[in-house]
Each structure stands twice: as structure tokens, then as C-alpha cells.
Amino acid sequence: TQKLLEIKGLHTHFETDRGVVPAVDGVDLYIEPGEVLGIVGESGCGKSVTSLSIMQLIPPVGKMKGAILFKNENLLEAKEKRMKKLRGNEISMIFQEPMTSLNPLLTIGQQISETVKLHKRVSSKEARNVSVDMLRKVGIPRAEAIMDEYPHQLSGGMRQRVMIAMALSCEPQLLIADEPTTALDVTIQAQILDLMKTLNQETGTAIMLITHDLGVVAEVCSRVAVMYAGKVVEDGSVADIFRNPSHPYTKGLLQSIPRMDLDKEQLYSIPGNVPMPGAITAGCRFAPRCEYAMDRCRTELPELTELEAGHRSRCWLTDERGA
Ligand code: SF4
Ligand code: MG
């Protein structure tokens, strides 16, 4: 099958006063049409920069290299005019804090109708009807009344539902969701994840879900890519990653998922920190934190190699060349 999105050797570097910061440093990943891919890793691993690179929303100090193929079209070569057409049309994005993406001075109805009118040639009255339908579809009660309310009148969970409604109103083929539930409390988080899963099944919109939380991945994703220090270190189906994790970083993340039967004090966390992008040295980036690190890990970078169909890992413990 043709991939919906295929990222090959993506580098996104920022030129700063202190030198070049390689936030994304050779990322390879893909999304199949209609699937939900989780991108997981601690903060500072390059997840958000990867998604902003897809949208071509990187500030001018950022330089990109490699290829981002969306339905075989390389977005790195697309003109801004073309990107404007793709953004919010074929590719939509939602963020952690919907308050910052909603205009506080306009009613919900004005904002969502505006989006609808951008994508469909409809009258204002029809746009309003479509908007109310969209709000109902994302589970907003009193949709008619909420059309005339302002963002600050809604709860965080309701605002995120509004953002999802706006993102989906143009029927995109890909929705990028960057930590969409991180700012919400646990109950609301579960409801929003449920909603995203249902909408994915109903509309066939593929979702790239960025999160630091493997628990979130387990809820909604069919496949996972684990990122560390600007690179993908393991990817595979949810079953591969949860039942048969290979990379020591993935294993560490799995151990750190909060569990009901353990106290907070007993919660495991991987020792050490993600290296600052400028401070990355030769060899495996995880070596300073890895309990299995060998000599060669500190000098030679392992490649992303296939362990079994659809399951890849970047580690000398499983790299054929390491044998
Ligand atoms: Fe650990 Fe070496 Fe594997 Fe890196 S390559 S994860 S340091 S064992
Ligand atoms: Mg982020």
C-alpha cells in the first residue's frame, strides 16, 4: 500500500548564537492511510519539531534536510502557497493548549463557521448548520448555545473538543495531535482520547498522536514510533512495543508508566536526562543512561534495523552488524 506520509532522513537544525541545535537529527517514519501512529518520548526528543516540520511551520532559523513525502509529494520542496492549501485542508493540527489557538475575541460559532467557509462554498447560514453538526459530532452538549459563547466560557475539555471539530471540519487525511490531552484531567483525557479513536474509525482520518505518555498510546494507537534525542529508536505495532519491546529506552519508558498498584514513590524513572541537542556526541545517544552500554555503543551509532516485519530498533544488542 502507498504510505500517506513518509519521512526519510529528516534533519531540522536551528542556528542559534550558541551554535547549531539539531532538534531533529535523522528521523525516519511513516503513516499508513487511516492509521493512528503514536510518537512517544520524553520532552526534548524532537517530537514537536518533527510535527512542525511536516506542517512547514519551522521559524526561519530552522534548516531542514531530507524528505517529507505526503502522498508522494515532497513537502520540503513545496512552495508556501501550496502548503497553505494543504494545511488545515489535507493536514490539520491540534495542540496541547487550545486556548492559545482559539481567538478569545470571537465566539466559537464565528471561528468554526469561518473554518467551514474556508473549505466549503456555503452560505453563512449553511456554515452555521454545518458547525453545529460538527460540535454535536465531537460530543458537545448544547451545541446551539455554545456557538454564541466565547472560548473563556468553556472548560479545557470543551475547548479541546472545539479544536478537534475545527480540525476535522475540512475532512483532512491526516490529523497531527501534539499532546492534545496533557493539560486535561484524567477523566476528560480519557473522553477526548475515546473521541479521537471514534472519529478515526468513522472518518478514516489518519492520526499522528504525539505524547510523552505510553499509557495514552495504549488507549488509541495501532502503531508506535519511539523517539530519543532527535531520532526514532524503535517502531512497531502496539503489540510489538508493549509485549516485546526491544530498545532499552522503550523498556525504560514502559517501566515508567504509572500503575494503580504502586505508590508514587515506587514509580520507576529512567536515570539521567535527555541530552541537550547541542551536546550530542558520537555513538548511541542513549549510552550515558543505558545499563547495557558496551564500548562500541559510545563510538558507533547503531542503525534502525528490522527485527521482524514492521518492528525496527536502533541498538547494538539487536543490530546484525553488532554480532
Ligand atoms: Fe544501550 Fe548500546 Fe543499545 Fe544504545 S546501542 S541502547 S547504549 S545497548
Ligand atoms: Mg513537545
> Is the shortest distance between the CB of 292 and ligand 1 below 6 Å?
yes
* pLDDT tens, residue by residue, 145-168: 999 999 999 998 999 999 999 998
> Is the shortest distance between the CB of 287 and ligand 1 below 6 Å?
yes
Which atom of ligand 1 approaches the CA of 302 most closely?
5
> Is the shortest distance between the CB of 316 and ligand 1 below 6 Å?
yes
Residue type, 74: N
Cell of 56: 512547514
- Euclidean distance between CA atoms 100 and 152, whole angstroms: 11
> Is the shortest distance between the CB of 23 and ligand 1 below 6 Å?
no
Asked if residues 314 and 247 have their Cβ atoms less than 8 Å apart, the reply is yes
> Residue 257: what pLDDT?
79
Going from the Cα of 60 to the center of ligand 1, the distance in angstroms, rounded, reads: 35
> Residue 265: what pLDDT?
59
Residues of the chain with CATH 3.40.50.300: 5-90+172-322
* pLDDT tens, residue by residue, 101-111: 789 999 999 99
Domain formed by 5-90+172-322, architecture: 3-Layer(aba) Sandwich (3.40)
* pLDDT tens, residue by residue, 86-97: 997 899 999 877
ipTM higher than threshold 0.85: yes
* pLDDT tens, residue by residue, 113-123: 998 888 888 99
The b-or-e profile of 17-33 (16+ CB within 10 A means b, else e) is: eeeebbbbbbbbbbbbe
> Residue 323: what pLDDT?
47
Quote the pTM value.
0.91
The predicted model gives 120-147 an average pLDDT of 93
Going from the Cα of 42 to the center of ligand 2, the distance in angstroms, rounded, reads: 9
* Residue 261 predicted with pLDDT over 70: no
* pLDDT tens, residue by residue, 18-76: 888 889 999 999 999 999 999 999 888 999 999 999 999 998 889 999 999 999 999 99
Which atom of ligand 1 approaches the CA of 296 most closely?
2
> Is the shortest distance between the CB of 270 and ligand 1 below 6 Å?
no
- Mean pLDDT in the chain? 90
Most trustworthy range by pLDDT among 3-7, 159-163, 182-186, 274-278? 3-7
Going from the Cα of 44 to the center of ligand 2, the distance in angstroms, rounded, reads: 7
> Residue 89: what pLDDT?
87
> Is the shortest distance between the CB of 69 and ligand 1 below 6 Å?
no
Ligand 1 pocket mutation pick from 253, 280, 292 by most atoms within 8 angstroms of CB? 292
Residue with cell 522503550: 250
